[in-house]
A and B are shown apart, each in its own frame.
Chain A
Amino acid sequence: MTDAATEQLLEITLRVNGVRRTASAPARRLLSDFLRHDLGLTGTHVGCEHGVCGACTVLLDGEPARACLVFAVTAQAHEVTTVEGIGHDPANLSPVQQAFAECHALQCGFCTPGFITTITAYLDENPQPTPEEAREAISGNLCRCTGYQNIVKAVVRASEIVREREEETR
């Protein structure tokens, strides 16, 4: 038997979507795989595994990060938000999710979780983006279906929904 036969498993604990989650995985396990296959949070998708497409984007302590470029162990004790943490109930969509549905900003939906996490974080920083700023904000994520036009629209619409909801609860 070789080294790999005795690959050491580490107990990894993360705060995922506000909940403490622990699982054992080897040191080389990618955060994307850890979330998907060890914790069963399959909302985070993997499109390239080399950091280019953005499908695997999660929020790491609130900042967008590519889960395929992070080892799960290095996220130990950090706070991870996946698309499930932004909204997991189809009947109760977050503003960004709602805007995507309204604007037809998704087709196959595979790239979508990465856009949702990215845009959710972006709107915290810039709550009222122009269409040009919106385009800029999403230009690190690949989508092969939509041609981006409706995603740009959805970013702007999401900022309106945030305000509409604030007004409703006021």
Chain B
Amino acid sequence: MTTRQVGEPVQRREDPRLLTGNGRYLDDLGLGALQAAFVRSPHAHARVVDIDITDAWELDGVEAIYTWEDLDGRVGEPLPVLIPHPALTHPRTGYCLAKSEVNHVGEAVVMVVARDRYVAEDACGRIHVTYETLKPVVGLENARAATRLVHDDAPGNVAANLLQEVGDVDSAMAAAPNTLTLELEIERSACMPMEGKGVYARWDADDASLRIYSSTQTSTGVRAAVAAKLEMPLAKVEVVTPDVGGGFGVKIMHPWPEEVLVPWAARRLGRDVKWTEDRREHFVSSAHERGQLQEVTVGFDDDGRLLALDVRFWHDNGAYTPYGIIVPIITATQLLGPYKPGAYRVEFWSLYTNTVLVTPYRGAGRPQGCYAMERTMDAIAAHLGLDRTEVRSRNFIQPDEMPYDQGLMFQDGRPLKYDSGDFPASLAKLKDLVGWDDFAAYREQAAREGRRVGLGIGCYVEGTGVGPYEGGHVQVETSGRVNVATGLTTQGQGHQTVLAQIVADQLGVRLEDVHVTTGDTRRMAYAVGTFASRGAVMSGNAVALAAKVVRDKALRIAADALEVSADDLEIVDGVISVKGAPGTSIDLKTIAVMSNPLRYAFDTAAQAATQFAGTFDPDKPPVADDDEPGLEGQDFYSPTQATFANGMHAAVVETDPVTAEIRILRYCVIHDCGVMVNPMIVEGQVHGGVAQGVGGALYERMVYDEGGQLLNASFMDFLVPYASEVPHVETDHLETPSPLNPLGLKGAGEAGTIPVTAVIASAVEDAEGFPIRSMPISPAELWELRRQHSSVPVALEGAS
């Protein structure tokens, strides 16, 4: 019996390579290629008056210098609005190189291509750009006030305004016995993968074709975008995604200007060209996320049940909207979490500011939504003097109400309809894990020791596995090697292992024989990309379907050969045999030989398939009308709607009575992503997600000054948490399989991050006894809040 792979914590197949320096990331490729560097705007808002490149040209090793004037055809046109939406009434995008205006510090103005990066940067330093500076709009308050505009033709700085309403909020609110209004704030952060972006392009003049390597989350998207921009046949552009050093959302945005310019320059110069982003460039020219102002009004009964929820928020979309309004739509819809809101109205304004653009970052709008909802839950509990978990559980959607339609439209244009989940069970597990009911005693004990502790909670539902589709291709070689291809990319989630596990089970082969390729348009030209926790759901089901195609074909051929019914056959460890009669068997690899009638015998296995070998029916064609040569198959998985994973977190924090330092003592997670293909990998996703959430809750912020300068554009100043800041995460899982797909999967990539900000806010609030309304929170901010909320002055230093 083959050991079943799905559900096993199998070690990752990609690891030995990555551990020994054999990984191939973008900058590891293209030895000897010319290198690009960019002159980027030092101003947040300015007109480009003049560009003088004379000095730069004198440098030995400079091959080309390009400004917007040099960009021909569509390369000189604005970048596309990738995800249009009817509510996005004023979409604006930049140019590959600034045309006449720059709208944030870091916007690319001039491209230099040189012998090496050092020389390219030298040249950038010798290029003199004259700007006429304009007053920038920085921060949501200023954007909303709109005394100045980012884009002259976008009134009120509003890119989009969207309202959704379910039920009659005004009358439900008026009738509610209790109402509360909360003003909330959440700051900008950023994905900050350890590997920045990068592009490497090779132009083959003889073939008039381009091969592009990009550190992207969507190779097919980059391919189509570059082909369109460069006005090339799609068939002449290939995009390969090598090993990717983390993405977390920032690499789903495409095409980045560099993804167009590098291939364009490679074609123009007839040389290999490469660009590797450095850390400062990443800070000032790649996307950020999170910044929102929120206003929540809630109506509820005396038991804490929601009757009406009215939410308005203002979303900072930065200077441009190439990725549409996906992030605020997700906030607006996913805010509801596991609860029934009563009547619900949400309206948002997506606003322009003269800062780096905003596109999804792990969690993509959900951390903000969860924060709004969970702060509200805590506020209701405080108002009524009820236990915070009690208020939550009174508002839960019950398991027997699944599937549950929230009546809203989700980010994919489809209904926000939860497929499955058991929220009461999750909460019970969480209370158990963290010891919710014993906390009061612990708090008293701590207080006796002069310590101040707090307990926080946060619940979320996460739409995962959004469509439209992914594909899978499975091919069995005559050696028995099974090649699997899917078009979505991977950036560390272990797709090569997880997808191999699925195929090994579905086909009945050994895991070692399965080899998975991701994100290579040469192997799978149809694909969407890796984002929204969709890898396992979409490509997992696609490769399972493809494996079934191959399995059916293999059984059909074997049934003929063994003269039995296909129904009586099974495949175990790559051997097809009659169930219960293991003596009668044939190797899958032999079926691969038989599936392809040959004229030429290039090896001994092939001899068995040539025209003079074996028996055949001379009245039938070697390949039947309804058949194809080869043991391979392809299929696509396209769901009607997203799956909805869920989870609940709780944390215990300690706040220093003097310094206001915040320490996380415990962090507990209950996680439900349906069936887990590889529990070890799921755990890893949760750990990493929590770490990013902790960064967002306590440390990470993008500090822009009034002039639009990012003051902390380095790892010295933007605090990505080290091991010393990230708590040990305690986890427990619940598996409520998704009824939407054959494997019962839901996504797991972002779960860890979503509620952390809400949980830490809840815990700090619990420790301190006053509301926390703005996150992240630093010791200085907490200290200031203490001062504001205390009638007695707080101790300045070690009050002894």
Contacts and interface: CB of A to CB of B under 8 A. Distances in A.
A112 B492 contact: no
Interface stretch (A71-79, A122-130, A136-144, A159-167): A136-144
Interface in B434-471: none
A97 B19 contact: yes
B582 interface: no
Interface string A36-55: 11001111111111101101
Given A40-B31, A110-B193, A136 B20 contact: no
A54 B12 CA distance: 24
A108 B21 contact: no
A112 B18 contact: yes
Contacts of A2: 58-59
A102 interface: yes
B726 interface: yes
A150 to B, nearest CB: 6
B723 A108 contact: no
Contacts of B681: 104
B722 interface: yes
Interface in B703-725: 714-716, 720, 722-724
A139 B724 contact: yes
Contact of A45 (B25, B61, B278, B692): B25
B192 interface: yes
Nearest to A101: B15
B244 interface: yes
Given A36-B28, A97-B19, A135-B723, A147 B58 contact: no
Interface in A140-156: 140-152
B246 A110 contact: yes
Given A4-B59, A4-B60, A150-B684, A84 B279 contact: no
A87 B17 CA distance: 10
A113 interface: yes
Contacts of A29: 118
B27 A109 contact: no
Contacts of B28: 36, 42
Interface string A12-56: 000000000000001011000000110011111111111011010
Interface residues of A, number: 65
Contact of B21 (A48, A113, A136, A149): A113
B494 A141 contact: no
B60 A93 contact: no
Given A1-B60, A43-B20, A110-B194, A142 B12 contact: no
Q: Give chain A's interface secondary structure class.
A: loop
Given A36-B28, A88-B21, A49 B723 contact: no
Contact of A149 (B193, B194, B687): B687
B570 interface: no
A49 B279 contact: yes
A83 interface: yes
B194 A47 contact: yes
Given A43-B20, A147-B729, A151-B723, A1 B58 contact: yes
A147 B690 contact: yes
B688 A89 contact: no
B20 A89 contact: yes
Given A47-B279, A108-B491, A140-B722, A145 B729 contact: no
B688 A52 contact: no
B680 interface: yes
B369 interface: no
B618 interface: no
Contacts of B11: 101-102, 104
A57 interface: no
Contacts, number: 193
Contacts of B642: none
B543 to A, nearest CB: 21
Contacts of B715: 48, 50, 52-53, 142
A147 B722 contact: no
Contacts of B692: 144
A29 B121 CA distance: 13
A91 B15 CA distance: 11
Interface string B665-691: 000000000000000110110111111
A8 interface: no
A89 to B, nearest CB: 6
Q: Give chain B's interface secondary structure class.
A: loop
A90 to B, nearest CB: 3
Interface string A52-75: 110100000000000000000000
B103 to A, nearest CB: 26
**Chain B interface extent, by class:** 35 or more
Interface in B264-297: 278-279
Nearest to B720: A142
Q: Report which residue of A42, A55, A102 has the largest number of chain B beta carbons within 10 angstroms of its beta carbon.
A: A42
Contacts of A97: 16, 19-20
A141 B721 CA distance: 10
A108 B17 CA distance: 12
A91 B512 CA distance: 13
Contacts of A151: 723
A41 B715 CA distance: 25
Nearest to B55: A2
A111 B24 CA distance: 13
B122 interface: yes
A110 B244 CA distance: 8
A147 B20 contact: no
Interface in B371-409: none
B137 to A, nearest CB: 30
A131 to B, nearest CB: 9
Given A4-B60, A97-B19, A136-B724, A49 B195 contact: no
A5 B752 CA distance: 52
B716 A108 contact: no
Contacts of B680: 104
B147 interface: no
A116 interface: yes
Nearest to A30: B118
A141 B492 CA distance: 18
B771 interface: no
A169 interface: no
Contacts of A4: 59-60, 119, 122
Interface string B291-315: 0000000000000000000000000
Given A48-B279, A84-B21, A101-B11, A146 B195 contact: no
A111 to B, nearest CB: 5
A145 B688 contact: yes
A108 B15 contact: no
B279 A50 contact: yes
Q: Report which residue of A47, A83, A111, A135 has the largest number of chain B beta carbons within 10 angstroms of its beta carbon.
A: A47
A108 B492 contact: yes
Contacts of A109: 14-15, 18-19, 23, 243, 245, 492
Contact of A36 (B27, B60, B248): B27
A150 B688 CA distance: 10
B195 A108 contact: yes
B728 interface: yes
Q: Report which residue of A109, A116, A151 has the largest number of chain B beta carbons within 10 angstroms of its beta carbon.
A: A109
A114 to B, nearest CB: 9
Nearest to A54: B722
Given A45-B194, A93-B20, 11 more contacts: A4-B60, A42-B21, A47-B279, A106-B19, A109-B15, A110-B492, A112-B19, A135-B723, A142-B720, A145-B246, A152-B723
Complex A-B, nearest 6 residue pairs according to Cβ-Cβ distance, in ascending order: A43-B21, A110-B245, A108-B492, A109-B18, A147-B687, A90-B16
19 contacts: A41-B21, A43-B21, A82-B21, A90-B16, A106-B15, A106-B18, A107-B492, A107-B688, A108-B244, A109-B19, A110-B194, A111-B194, A139-B723, A139-B724, A144-B193, A144-B688, A145-B194, A148-B723, A150-B684
Interface of B: 11-12, 14-25, 27-28, 31, 58-61, 116, 118-119, 122, 192-195, 243-246, 248, 278-279, 491-494, 680-681, 683-684, 686-692, 714-716, 720, 722-724, 726, 728-729, 752
